[in-house]
Structure 1
Amino acid sequence: MTQMTTMKRRQFLAGSAALGALALTGAGRAFAQEFDIPAPIGPINADGPFRWLDSGDQKATFYKAFFPEYASARDIEVVYDGLPWNEINQVLPLGIRNNTAQDVFNLPLNMPPAYAVNEGWVQAYDDFIPDIETWKQGFPPGAFLEGLNVFNGKTYGLPYTSARVSSAFTLYNRKYLNDAGYDPEATPFTWDTFRAAAAKVTEMNAGRAFGFIIGGNQVNRWWDACRTLAQTNGLACGDTSIGNGVDFRTGEVVFDADEIVGAIELLLALKADGSIFPGVMSINAPQARAMMPQGAAGMILQGPWNIPQWERENPNFDFGIAPTPGKGGYSIVGSLASASNTMFIYSKSKNASVAADIFHYLGTEEGQIAWGNVVGSSDPPIFPKAVEQSTMSARSKKALQMFEQTIRISPNPFARNPELAAVASIYQEPTPNAAQTIQGLFTGQTTDIKGELTRLVSATNTALDAAFKTAKENGANVSRDDLVFPNWDPSKDYVASDYEAL
């Protein structure tokens, strides 16, 4: 921590009670980051405290360091709220109804931005950033897309973190795997070698450690793991909202595809081999993550957020990273920019000039590098050059480079037809859904893998048909044909020219 950074923070906290709630302790590495706050892009007309809402985690580490310095430089008050997603899903709609929403926020999970635009939740910020088109050209191609963060030519969302990340790639205890005779960084796992390695680690540790661990009572982890395993074995499908489980080449729901059946069979084989850490159904994903440095298991399929956390909290833990086991197929994400991290300005905000000033900074190379220095691979900057120039660890950079090679951007139905937001707002995912179905198969509540998945396909089609029918009756110009992109090649990113060619 430098004296300059310490002094700035103390001066600000002495003069602003609003940021006292930030609880600046615990930001750790972030306080080594000094922010060279640039001159404002235009007049700053603050009316009361500026309020920012997002889902916290590593983002909070950045903002708890950045906002005190920014507030001091602009002579304003800032209140930062980093809340869990389940709270955002409740707090934000309530704030919209009561006209008390934060000035800037990310949308509830799985809410299409078109819905927020159509309902008047958010406002465009083109008029607040001078020469905004030149600024936007500094972003990588595909960051701004009509129907995702641009509507009727106006810019609504800030796409400042990359979605080209996997939530289920291989992280492993290097000693356990090397002792067992495996080096997945040099020779990535197939499903067969993944299973064999898990069995060997379990055997060599004689009950003291197991081959594989998963946060089994966090239900979404089952679909995340199986979908990614299936995709690296050749499956191509969407993963969210009305596109979840849909092969966009045909528009068909493919939960019962052979690749998904095979992925479930792989997990059941690990269980039958005795290679899975006992009691996984009583732990969630963060708990499973925390047990890896303790030596509980040799491998876990999770995301890059593990890397900075382990490096910070368990510096002596020697771990490696490798692609998701499979045949070398591509994982699929629905956009270049992280939809969940895309930030929007409240339509009734009186501090839009402040919001745009911050947006502008986060969309510059300087701001992106500062972001990467603090957040690392957890929510990586969308500028590839910022990844290269940041001080994030070599392991974090290696993971992001691996994602560039192994993850592709799929079509996004909402970019093609924003009116699909009307369908998504009505759509009721069947119960049990994909994650619940897989969890039930793992625990033995059900045993007919193909039968259960086929029933899920039928239930999903029924739910989609009902949602499309109701949306059309309500005036939306939509069709299930909007989910069909016959020119999609899953081995390549789906880009703006592909939408234009439809």
Structure 2
Amino acid sequence: MDAMTRRGFLAAAGTLAAATACGGGGGAGAGGNSLTWWDHQNQLQKAKAEIFAEFAKSPGGVPVQYTYYNPAKMGQALQLAKQSGQLPDIRTNAGLNLPAATLVAAGWAQPLNLSDEAKARVQDSLIEGLHVFDGKIYAFPIFSHQTYSTVTWFNTELVARAGLDPQAPPKTYDEFRAAAGAVQRSAGGGTYGWVWNIGMPIRLGDQVHDLAQAAGFPGGAGVRYQTGEYAYHADEYLDVIEFLVSLRQDKVLVPGANSWLDDVARARWTAGLAAYYFDGPWCPGVALKDTPGFGDKLGVGPILVPDAGTAVATYHVPQPGEYWLSPTSKKAAAANKLLSDHFTTEEYSRTIAGTMSQPPRDISVVERSQAHPAYKKLIGWFKESVFLAPEPIAGNKDIKRVQAELKPVTPTLGDIVQGALTGDVTDVRAALTKLSSDSAKQRDLAIAAAKSKGAQVGLDDFAFPNWKPRADYLKPMYAKR
């Protein structure tokens, strides 16, 4: 996990040096009397700045030295910081791309010592193997599971100019293709129908997983819930990718977007370069922070489905832990006080709602928040159409020992999607079939390795035959499989 290519090392070194030069970098102990905090939550920066300022003035509080990273760059910066003994005191795990159990086993975190009041607030959302390891709390979720990352955001001004109704956004693949083409034709040169963050294969993979579920795939992350089989090559995945490729073929995709990260794609979208942009619920929180005037043009549509009349249903596993305390931190007491007093509370859920990030753990507060009407509409759709998915580790905590043995399978789904959009992958079905096969083989090897070390685990632990579509998979159901 600690191994990096020379190119990756140099890129990370540049990133870390730049962050440190701005006063936000430095690892545990590097901030003097300060607590160091790194994360990728662009839209929550202002809210956290206020919390940090309040904390610094409170009894037992200290100043907090904060660094923001784009999620595509944070992983390398964290790798380099760990190698050099400069991990921040508190961080998110963006870009590390490994299960929490693997990171904990590899020494990336230490247990939290939350106050009794804080423990009581988060207790119902904690799962052994996700947030709790060997009975000790390492992290807690701050977001709701009722979310998906492929929202159809659009510029209402460009849509209306094309003669389309902003109150009736496209819902199907064909409707979207037609709308993107209509906007591009009406706007003339220099404006396109659609832009996307194609330079972020991890994000692409997540978004295609969502689209496949909305298309009817009965599972998540390429795995069928009832059987536990890998099925990246299922028709739902192929149909989604063919739809995305059709947009490139229609020439409604902004030229040059193949290498863009989300911050670039989103900025070009708000500048009027394209009408439609696929992004998560955090989109308005970031977009309106940078360009407040765009709020007058912000429109939203639900995740797309293949056919008219299809009711949207997507599934999301319990949310992971968000903030992690590095093992080298010399400010653990202050870090625990900060997390307990400010980040486990209902007030923080209200803060998250107001910043239009992912929906907060207490999703009910959104309707009473000051969020943009489009965001509130989206959260209403989430409540109706996003269901709690089964999570293998919640059924058998020894799954964490399998996760610790898993090796990454490449190319990933996101790599394949990116390749299909750039033209580098021409036989998508073959690539997806190989991904299914390679993933299954890697899981088999990981299970065997875990069992050889005493884990009580098998393939059945990845299957949930009592799972039903359009229903939450609740804790009592694990024992009834």
**TM bracket, shorter-chain basis:** 0.7 to 0.9
* Structure 1 residue identity aligned to 2:240: A
1:232 deviates by 1.2
Question: Structure 2: how far apart are the matches of 1:69 and 1:379?
Answer: 24
- Whether the 8 Å contact between 1:114 and 1:418 is mirrored in structure 2 is no
Indicate whether 1:396 and 2:396 are aligned.
Answer: no
Deviation readout 1:282-304 (Å, 9 max, x if unpaired): 43322111111222212111112
Pair 465,398 (structure 1): closer, same or farther in 2 beyond 3 Å: same
1:60 deviates by 3.0
Pair 87,180 (structure 1): closer, same or farther in 2 beyond 3 Å: closer
Pair 100,269 (structure 1): closer, same or farther in 2 beyond 3 Å: closer
Question: TM-score with structure 1 length normalisation?
Answer: 0.79
- Counterpart secondary structure, 1:145: coil
* Structure 2 residue identity aligned to 1:172: F
Question: Structure 1: how far apart are the matches of 2:200 and 2:118?
Answer: 41
Pair 60,251 (structure 1): closer, same or farther in 2 beyond 3 Å: same
Equivalent in the alignment of 2:42: 57
Equivalent in the alignment of 1:456: 435
1:59 deviates by 3.2
Equivalent in the alignment of 1:286: 263
Equivalent in the alignment of 1:410: 389
1:95 deviates by 6.2
Equivalent in the alignment of 1:357: 337
Question: Structure 1: how far apart are the matches of 2:334 and 2:131?
Answer: 19
1:58 deviates by 2.5
- After the TM superposition, which of the residue ranges 318-327 and 173-182 deviates more from structure 2? 173-182
Question: Structure 1: how far apart are the matches of 2:304 and 2:220?
Answer: 19
- What is the aligned counterpart of 1:104 among 81, 86, 90? 90
Structure 1: segments with no counterpart, 5+ residues: 1-17, 24-46, 240-244
Equivalent in the alignment of 2:179: 197
Backbone CA RMSD of aligned residues = 3.0
Equivalent in the alignment of 1:7: none
1:398 deviates by 2.5
Equivalent in the alignment of 1:27: none
- Counterpart secondary structure, 1:208: coil
Structure 2: segments with no counterpart, 5+ residues: 1-19, 26-31
1:321 deviates by 0.5
Indicate whether 1:253 and 2:230 are aligned.
Answer: yes
Question: Structure 1: how far apart are the matches of 2:72 and 2:177?
Answer: 35
* Structure 1 residue identity aligned to 2:232: F
Indicate whether 1:71 and 2:73 are aligned.
Answer: no
Equivalent in the alignment of 2:273: 296
Equivalent in the alignment of 1:345: 325
Pair 111,222 (structure 1): closer, same or farther in 2 beyond 3 Å: closer
Deviation readout 1:50-106 (Å, 9 max, x if unpaired): 333433422333222221221112254333343534665456567667776444333
Question: Structure 1: how far apart are the matches of 2:77 and 2:271?
Answer: 36
Equivalent in the alignment of 1:429: 408
Equivalent in the alignment of 1:233: 215
- Counterpart secondary structure, 2:409: coil
* Same amino acid, percent of matched pairs: 30
Question: Structure 2: how far apart are the matches of 1:135 and 1:408?
Answer: 22
- Whether the 8 Å contact between 2:303 and 2:312 is mirrored in structure 1 is no
Indicate whether 1:217 and 2:199 are aligned.
Answer: yes
Deviation readout 1:362-387 (Å, 9 max, x if unpaired): 222233324444xx222442112432
- Whether the 8 Å contact between 1:236 and 1:332 is mirrored in structure 2 is no
Pair 490,147 (structure 1): closer, same or farther in 2 beyond 3 Å: farther
Deviation readout 1:21-60 (Å, 9 max, x if unpaired): 359xxxxxxxxxxxxxxxxxxxxxxx95433343342233
Question: Structure 2: how far apart are the matches of 1:462 and 1:180?
Answer: 50
- Counterpart secondary structure, 1:253: coil
- Counterpart secondary structure, 1:252: coil
Pair 491,218 (structure 1): closer, same or farther in 2 beyond 3 Å: same
Question: TM-score with structure 2 length normalisation?
Answer: 0.82
Deviation readout 1:130-152 (Å, 9 max, x if unpaired): 35664346xxx5x2223221345
- Counterpart secondary structure, 1:456: helix
Pair 280,114 (structure 1): closer, same or farther in 2 beyond 3 Å: closer
Indicate whether 1:387 and 2:374 are aligned.
Answer: no
- Whether the 8 Å contact between 2:353 and 2:369 is mirrored in structure 1 is yes
- Counterpart secondary structure, 2:293: coil
Equivalent in the alignment of 2:242: 265
Question: Structure 2: how far apart are the matches of 1:199 and 1:423?
Answer: 47
- After the TM superposition, which of the residue ranges 431-440 and 111-120 deviates more from structure 2? 111-120
1:305 deviates by 2.3
